[in-house]
């Protein structure tokens, strides 16, 4: 489970997050994502509505980071492994929060292994 500090901050985040993945050559790719939610206070689920390079990076085994900012202007970054789902609990969860106007091809799940607020490591 994520620390309460991060869970509470997530509830007050600005709509867009920044998701960064890395390709096989080590080149980072960052995108804004707005169709996201916190799964069981433990993992961040991001809808694949229009992934291109991000999906390629997922397919090659990337790690990822998510950066978000609260309405009060405080930033948080989570880093870790990712998994990708086109069926099952994570996929169903994504379909429930993802607006029907978006395709929701799959659900990227960030399994955070470390988290920061600024330079302060939270876990």
Question: What six digits make up the tokens of 85?
Answer: 């789902």
Q: What is the pLDDT of residues 5-19, one digit of tens each?
A: 999 999 999 999 999
Determine how many CB atoms are found less than 10 A away from the CB of residue 7.
13
The domain locations on the chain are 4-121
Average of per-residue pLDDT across 13-32: 97
Identify the pLDDT of residue 81. 98
Q: State whether the Cα torsion 85-42-11-117 is positive or negative.
A: negative
Q: Using the structure block, give the residue that is written with the tokens 């969860």.
A: 93
pLDDT bucket at 4, cuts 50 / 70 / 90: very high
Contacts of 88 (CB under 8 A, 6+ apart): none
- Global pTM value: 0.96
Q: What is the pLDDT of residues 51-94, one digit of tens each?
A: 999 999 999 999 999 999 999 999 999 999 999 999 999 999 99
Average of per-residue pLDDT across 13-31: 97
The third-level CATH classification (topology) of the domain covering 4-121 is Pnp Oxidase; Chain A (2.30.110)
Question: What six digits make up the tokens of 43?
Answer: 């993992």
| Beta pairing, strands 17-22 & 63-69 | antiparallel
d(CA 94, CA 109): 10
């Amino acid at each position: 489970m994520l620390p309460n500090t991060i869970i509470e901050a997530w509830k007050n985040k600005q709509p867009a997050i920044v998701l960064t993945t890395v390709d096989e050559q080590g080149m980072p790719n960052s995108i804004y994502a707005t169709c996201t939610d916190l799964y069981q206070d433990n993992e961040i689920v991001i809808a694949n509505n229009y992934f291109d390079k991000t999906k390629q990076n997922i397919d090659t085994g990337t790690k990822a980071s998510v950066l978000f900012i609260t309405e009060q202007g405080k930033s948080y970054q989570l880093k870790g492994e990712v998994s990708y789902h086109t069926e099952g609990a994570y996929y169903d969860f994504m379909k429930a929060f993802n607006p029907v106007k978006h395709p929701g091809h799959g659900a990227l799940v960030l399994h955070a292994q470390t988290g920061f607020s600024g330079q302060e490591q939270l876990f």
